[in-house]
Amino acid sequence: MTPGKIPPTTVQRLPLYLRCLVQASAMHMPVVNSVQIAEMAGTNAAQVRKDFSYLGEFGTRGIGYEVDSLITHLSKELGLTEHRRVAIIGFGRLGSALQSYPGFDERGMKVVAVIDADPAKIGTVSDGITVESADDLEEIVKRERVEIAIVTVPGKYAQGVADRLVASGVRAIMNFAPVQLVVPEGVEVRQADVAGELQVLSFHLNPRRTLA
């Protein structure tokens, strides 16, 4: 299969594959095959091979994939060869925890701005970043060349924040607010529904559950 448009379901699995390959590299495995990747990723070898086929010709039949080479290629596909510039909108408990998360740098992300509407938080410094006023959102986004916004504001404010972000040129939003955002075509929104995922786990703990 020649490389072309990658299906959204495959795109969702690429970060998982990259994480598995980084783990393989840390374990000093120069080469891995599709079965090994599948075991690490919790999928099957056929799916791994199909997903990688969208990216081009990789691996050697009967041997496998060169780990470092595939890490480099997946990083390019995911746009991680340069750090993406991230702003956190909402500096409550969740926003604070995300801002302190050390894994962003490892995954090609750099938090460059933290924004909040609470006067008590504005001007405080966390991990070297000063919390700035939501009144200046547009100016901050342009000044810091923000590419991705993480929205952790209360639900009733989320759409308004999203509208301002989009108007300022942001084309990628991770939304932690418990509402569905309406954005124009060309803007990508990922909904982080922690409560929903916990409810799915609760379903699997329910002895009365029925699965198709």
> Higher pLDDT residue, 199 or 159?
159
Range 135-157 average pLDDT: 97
Q: What is the value of pTM for the model shown?
A: 0.73
Residue 182's pLDDT is what?
Answer: 96
Residue 81's pLDDT is what?
Answer: 75
**Are both 8-77 and 84-196 of the same fold?**
no
Q: Where do the structural domains in the chain lie, given as residue ranges?
A: 8-77, 84-196
- In this predicted structure, the answer to whether residue 161 has a pLDDT above a threshold of 90 is yes
- In this predicted structure, the answer to whether residue 140 has a pLDDT above a threshold of 60 is yes
- In this predicted structure, the answer to whether residue 4 has a pLDDT above a threshold of 60 is no
Residue 208's pLDDT is what?
Answer: 63
Domain covering 8-77 in this structure, CATH number: 1.10.10.10
**E strand or H helix at 102, and its extent?**
none
The rounded distance, in Å, linking the Cα atoms of 131 and 120 is 10
Confidence label for 1 from pLDDT (cuts 50, 70 and 90): very low
Quote the distance between the C-alpha of residue 181 and its chain's center. Answer: 17
Residue percentage of the chain with pLDDT more than 90: 62
**At a CB cut-off of 8 Å and minimum separation 6, what does 80 contact?**
107, 108
Residue 104's pLDDT is what?
Answer: 85
Rg value, the chain, Cα: 20
- In this predicted structure, the answer to whether residue 100 has a pLDDT above a threshold of 80 is yes
DSSP class of 60: B
Q: What is the pLDDT of residues 39-66, one digit of tens each?
A: 999 999 999 999 998 888 777 777 889 9
Q: What is the chain's mean pLDDT, rounded?
A: 89
Domain covering 84-196 in this structure, CATH number: 3.40.50.720
The rounded distance, in Å, linking the Cα atoms of 127 and 112 is 11
The phi and psi torsions of 145 (rounded to 5 degrees) equal 55, 50
Range 74-96 average pLDDT: 90
